[in-house]
Amino acid sequence: MNNPEPDPTTAIYIGAEDHPDVGAPAELLRCLPARNVKHVMSNIGSVRELCEMDVLQVQVTLATG
């Protein structure tokens, strides 16, 4: 609680592989209202997992989660 929020860009790139879309999910999450981010991340284990999913997989995961 007393610590500053982590920098999302730095967090994305730590351990990220060279992938052209790395960072795209983080941009998506930054554009969502906070309650939606919580819903997405409670149904998808990590940003890396989100990066590896195609749009249909994300839609199915969020619809069934």
Q: Where are the domains of the chain?
A: 24-64
Q: Is 25 exposed, middle or buried (0-12, 13-18, 19+ CB in 10 A)?
A: buried
5 vs 2: CA distance, rounded Å: 9
Residue bearing the bigger pLDDT, 57 or 30? 57
Above 70 in pLDDT, residue 17? no
Report the predicted TM-score, pTM, of the whole model to 2 decimal places: 0.47
pLDDT score, position 31: 76
* Mean pLDDT, rounded, of the chain: 74
Name the DSSP letter for residue 18.
Answer: S
For the residues 25-47, what does the mean pLDDT come to?
78
**44 and 53 in contact (C-beta within 8 Å)?**
yes
The C-alpha atoms of residue 43 and residue 62 are separated, in whole angstroms, by 6
